[in-house]
Amino acid sequence: MEKLRETLRVRKERAILVAAVPGGAGQADDLAELTALAQSAGAVVVDRFQQKIRSIRSATYIGKGKADQLGERVKRFKADVVIFDNDLSPAQIRELEEIVGIKVLDRSELILDIFATRAKTKQAMLQVELAQLEYTYPRLTQMWPHLDTVTGAGGATGVGVVGGIGTKGPGEQQLEIDRRLVKRRIVELRRELANIDRRRVREITARRGLFKICIVGYTNAGKSTLLNALTNAGVLVEDRLFATLDTRTRRWSPARGVEVLISDTVGFVKNLPHQLVASFKATLEETVNADLLVHIIDVSSPDVLKQIESVDAVLDEIGCGDKPILMLLNKVDNLKNLSQLEMLQTVFADAVAISAKTGFGLNTLAEKVVEKYKGTELLVRVSASQSNGKVQSFLRAHGQIINEQYLDSFVVIDARLGQNQLPDLQRLHPDQLEIIEA
Ligand SMILES: Nc1nc2c(ncn2[C@@H]2O[C@H](COP(=O)(O)OP(=O)(O)OP(=O)(O)O)[C@@H](O)[C@H]2O)c(=O)[nH]1
Ligand SMILES: [Mg+2]
């Protein structure tokens, strides 16, 4: 019994994955994503257990009979941990651990564990710690009687806060002390994060006026590789989930005379724990403030459609569902069969096929971005005094001059220009500005 919930870490442990799909008739959810998550956390997946269940049994989620079957598989595969794709209540975890005899984790706990090992910056570490405490704290009361039976239980949070919760062998009194410590630590973390947040708000305010692009996508899709390819940002790229937990913003010039800001941010998966989304609010702010989202997908992944859905769901959740989006079909260099790419190009007609690794398609990407940056093309007639050379040079650099006519001390120019560039032109005080054709 000593393996129960001493820690929520799963490194090098032998894991059995479980997906229970309520509704009986429904398709069992395949475990590809949970497998990738478990492996990213360092676990070795020894067995997968997918079950359609008619309804969620409150005590064990999957029902006593299935839980017994799971217990047998735990013995057969000598597993150390069972990981559920579903989110479980503390009571369900307790009941299941009693039946199967080993540690049981749910999906949110697994994701929080991965985030905890990946966090490198101060902000990311504080954000993860807060999310872990908030997920764990409400469970402490109910978990304690159960933890009580485990000698030297390390408490329910993997982070080394409050001197390792419950290391002394928890009794009622210890529980009360720990709860108070956890509460105090949460307040402290919120305060520290708010300070970092204020600095960030200042940064964001300073960037007002510049066109902002945020690269979003499923974890491991190639966001950081793309940012590096475009801007030499030198961001860590790794073939594992959640390599990036913070945001990098760089200047990028997709065409002569055009400068934008482009950010790389934390990757998304299906059902990110709410506590995590809430704690990472500041990191996700970059996405919320963007003028254009670039949604990068890994076309070589067999789960690409599900991954797109997951990203769309998180975007909705953080209130970015209606932002302009440019889809990028990445890793085309890695495709074994072209029909997948063709299918995606049919579904997303506006998407650009690229390889962030080889640089294929990045020119087309730059052109598309410039189009979005400029907005709908307009035909304008501008007159300016010949002494105001700025108007003319602006149109030469940023527009397409169709006709120029010199009248006395004035020049009248017909030019094509993007709608979003009008404010910049207006700032140069032309004598007249007229939209001839929209
Ligand atoms: N073959 C191929 N591999 C790529 C391409 N782009 C990225 N990769 C690889 O995909 C893996 C993940 O790339 P990252 O840029 O770290 O992905 P990310 O989206 O930033 O991932 P997280 O930060 O973990 O969410 C790395 O091993 C990259 O080398 C590509 O165009 N082709
Ligand atoms: Mg990254």
pLDDT tens-digit profile, the chain (438 residues):
334 555 666 667 899 999 988 775 555 557 888 998 899 888 999 999 988 888 888 899 999 999 999 999 999 999 999 999 988 988 898 899 999 999 899 988 888 888 888 887 888 888 888 888 888 776 665 444 444 443 333 333 433 333 332 333 445 666 666 778 888 888 999 999 888 878 777 776 666 678 899 999 998 999 999 999 999 877 778 777 777 777 788 899 998 878 899 998 888 887 777 778 777 777 777 788 889 999 999 999 988 998 999 899 889 888 888 899 999 999 999 998 888 899 999 999 999 999 999 999 999 999 999 999 988 889 999 999 888 888 988 888 888 899 999 988 889 999 999 888 888 888 888 888 999 887
Which residue from 118, 225, 333 has its CB within 8 A of the most atoms of ligand 1, so it is best to mutate?
Answer: 225
Task: Answer whether 308's CB lies under 8 Å from 343's CB.
Answer: no
Tokens of 402: 């169709």
Q: Please give the domain boundaries of the chain with CATH numbers for all domains.
A: 14-114 (3.40.50.11060), 119-204 (no CATH), 208-373 (3.40.50.300), 375-437 (3.30.70.240)
Tokens of 48: 């997968």
- Regarding the beta carbon of 335 and ligand 1, being less than 6 Å apart is answered no
Question: At 47, is the secondary structure helix, strand, or coil?
Answer: strand
Model pTM?
A: 0.78
- Regarding the beta carbon of 355 and ligand 1, being less than 6 Å apart is answered yes
**Among all ligands shown, which has an atom nearest to the Cα of 272?**
1
Listed in sequence order, the residues at least 6 apart from 137 whose beta carbon sits closer than 8 Å to its beta carbon are 179, 182, 183, 186
Task: Answer whether 384's CB lies under 8 Å from 371's CB.
Answer: no
- Regarding the beta carbon of 243 and ligand 1, being less than 6 Å apart is answered yes
298 forms beta bridges with: 330
Q: Tell me which residue has its CA closest to atom 9 in ligand 1.
A: 222
Tokens of 111: 């994701």
Give the nearest ligand 1 atom to 264 CA: 20
pLDDT at 240: 75
Give the nearest ligand 1 atom to 244 CA: 23
- Regarding the beta carbon of 299 and ligand 1, being less than 6 Å apart is answered no
Rounded Cα–Cα distance for residues 99 and 419 (Å):
65
Per residue in 377-390, is it b (16+ CB within 10 Å) or e — as a string? ebbbbbbbeeebee
pLDDT at 409: 87
CA 106 from centre of chain: 19
- Regarding the beta carbon of 330 and ligand 1, being less than 6 Å apart is answered yes
Question: At 350, is the secondary structure helix, strand, or coil?
Answer: coil
Of 269, 339, 248, 331, the residue nearest 297 (C-alpha): 331
Tokens 């994955």, located at residue: 17
Rounded Cα–Cα distance for residues 254 and 373 (Å):
10
Give the distance between the most distant pair of CA atoms in the chain.
Answer: 95
Tokens 């299906």, located at residue: 270
- Regarding the beta carbon of 297 and ligand 1, being less than 6 Å apart is answered no
Task: Answer whether 295's CB lies under 8 Å from 328's CB.
Answer: yes
Separation of 239 CA from ligand 1 center, angstroms? 6
